[in-house]
Chain A
């Protein structure tokens, strides 16, 4: 018993350099976010002086932000766009992943391989034709202009396709014997069984939509249609920057995703690694 404890102590002692290294890396990782919170409560002068703790200027910064920007419009835009994108994207891509894996044939596998190549196409290469397309369809400054190009992604289809490998095919056969039509198998059996995949895919899709920047900058040109990332980017464009107000804006842009991160960290981690199983 004592021997075992001694051995454990020795192991912990040898790990001390690891602890020190991990503590330093953790502090560097967390500090900029901690600073964002404190800076949002200080005046721009205090921020410049290097004040590191919370101040009393939070309300003032918040008032300035509301007075000078379309905070609530942008916040609700971001929320609506991200919610619409998440719901539709999950439906379209899971349906496809289901079709590709559980009804797979050589033809479908070949098509999937082609679709995967779309992952390599950079956003800057498609933004000009997509902008022209959206202008012709009169979708500039609308939720559809924002979401349409992002609804079907090879990444999500692949994620559902890979995760469907563990789906029990016996359930489908049983349902067929019970006379359930094919499309109802998807809704009544596949969807409930795949809950975990939907959660992970949902978290990652919502975050991506909320954080998008290049495409919204192209397709959302009016102040009334803008999203949170665009709002805060514009805040930093002036010659004199009110750092307190800027960090309050950044805080509003980050808070929803930070909250999601803390509540659904496991799903988030599964979401980003989801397609490599």
Chain B
């Protein structure tokens, strides 16, 4: 009887497992193989030397720019967003606060629209003839229109601002869910001991929320390393590819208007995979050690 039910269990999970093997793991190994090859997609040969595509990456200034951009977005946007999300969750968790549901809905609302939609909205808002410029002009802050998306530094700034706008509410929901599961007796004890708000937050809330904080950090890092929709639709990688992300460049290399180079694109995508894995691993280790 036991054996029979066990076999049923395997039967239930086999289809999903096989599909993940076929559509995730197999393509991953296949991409690794392709990354050692050169030539057009119909006629691929192993490169000589075999790591040719990987050597090319480090000499490719364009790829280095996209790598730098992606990490710039990661380093600036992820901390700002997570701290802001945590702050908002703390404020909204206050029992005395009125209109909590309304605030929560408003801040969560950006998650309701697609990445392409919000990229296009921000692109229109920050266009040279856009709303942001006309408002700033009307208020007398600027003399002439700022070319937000045509200047490297401001274009990067707009991408970071847009990312924070889109994802803060998303992360806030995780923290709110985490805060609701906290053990309130510890807080009462802390209050009796005379701990102030900051102390309580740092020594009681943060340790208890640690799994959620690690989870959101991994998700954010993972997502930022794969940024694509915003780079394509908000700035189109411009000006002169100075805001382009790695995924955008990889896509262009494989499916762009030039000659498709599956081998080189696969090599770059493999580097992204390795970086995602390493950063997630570091994150888990750092999160574990604070015990």
Contacts and interface: CB of A to CB of B under 8 A. Distances in A.
Interface of A: 8, 11-12, 15, 18-19, 21-22, 25-30, 32-33, 35-36, 39, 47-50, 52, 92-93, 95-96, 98-100, 102-105, 108, 111, 115, 118, 120-133, 148-149, 151-154, 157, 182-183, 186, 210-211, 213-214, 217-218, 229, 232-233, 236, 241, 243, 246-247, 250, 253-254, 257-258, 260-262, 265, 268-269, 272-273, 276
A261 B30 CA distance: 38
A130 B23 contact: yes
Nearest to B280: A120
B13 to A, nearest CB: 4
27 contacts: A11-B96, A15-B96, A22-B92, A25-B106, A26-B102, A29-B107, A32-B118, A33-B110, A93-B16, A95-B16, A99-B10, A100-B9, A103-B6, A121-B24, A121-B25, A122-B222, A124-B251, A125-B31, A127-B251, A133-B27, A186-B12, A217-B251, A218-B251, A232-B116, A253-B114, A257-B114, A268-B111
Contact of B121 (A19, A32, A148, A151): A32
A151 B21 CA distance: 12
Contacts of B97: 15, 18-19
B109 A183 contact: no
Given A22-B92, A126-B27, A214-B228, 9 more contacts: A12-B96, A22-B88, A99-B8, A115-B20, A118-B20, A133-B27, A241-B127, A243-B127, A276-B212
B170 interface: yes
B103 A26 contact: yes
B86 interface: no
A241 to B, nearest CB: 8
Contacts of B211: 276
B104 to A, nearest CB: 9
Contacts of A102: 9
Contact of A129 (B19, B30, B105): B30
Interface stretch (B56-64, B71-79, B130-138, B187-195): B130-138
Interface of B: 5-6, 8-13, 15-17, 19-20, 23-28, 30-31, 34, 41, 88, 91-92, 94, 96-98, 102-103, 105-118, 120-125, 127, 129-131, 133-135, 138, 165, 169-170, 173-174, 177, 211-212, 215, 222, 225-226, 228-229, 232-233, 246-247, 250-251, 254-255, 262, 265-266, 269-270, 272-273, 276-277, 280
B9 A272 contact: no
A49 B134 contact: yes
A130 B116 CA distance: 22
Contact of B114 (A111, A131, A213): A213
Contacts of A120: 222, 273, 276-277, 280
A244 to B, nearest CB: 10
Contacts of A229: 114-117
Contacts of B112: 33, 254, 257-258, 260-262, 268
Nearest to A25: B107
Contacts of B94: 15, 18
Contact of B269 (A29, A95, A124): A124
Contacts, number: 274
B28 A121 contact: yes
B9 A130 contact: no
Given A93-B16, A261-B111, A214 B229 contact: yes
Given A47-B124, A103-B9, A265 B23 contact: no
A236 B130 CA distance: 14
Given A118-B25, A218-B255, A232-B117, A98 B165 contact: no
B9 A105 contact: yes
A95 B13 CA distance: 6
Contacts of B215: 276
Given A99-B10, A108-B9, A120-B222, A257 B113 contact: yes
Contacts of B16: 92-93, 95-96, 152, 157
Contact of B135 (A19, A50, A129): A50
B119 to A, nearest CB: 8
Contacts of A246: 120, 124
Contacts of B103: 22, 25-26
B255 A250 contact: no
B113 A254 contact: yes
Nearest to B18: A152
Nearest to A261: B112
